[in-house]
Amino acid sequence: MLGHVTAGGESVNRYTEAEMVDIADRMRRVEELLFSKAPSVYNALRPKGAPRMTDKEDIVASAKPVKRTRNSKLVT
């Protein structure tokens, strides 16, 4: 799942059961935060039968990055 390899063993043996529960909980919270900020991602990955979220509020990055100089401050 996480792409880890352990010496002399399978990657699934790297974590204890309690650690896997903790990792799964952390991954769930990251997913929830991602989905709350990007409804179109949720809509693309939502479970079958789950209602769609309105995706009118998706944040879209500007096409051109803001140029900065050494003395300028990034304005958001």
pLDDT, position 6: 57
Ramachandran angles phi, psi of 37, nearest 5° = -95, -20
pLDDT for 43 equals 85
* Domain range annotation of the chain: 1-76
pLDDT in tens, the chain (76 residues): 455 555 555 666 677 889 889 989 999 898 888 887 888 888 888 888 988 888 765 566 667 766 777 776 665 5
Percent composition of the chain: helix, strand, coil (DSSP 3-state, to 5): 40, 5, 55
Q: What is the pTM of this model?
A: 0.47
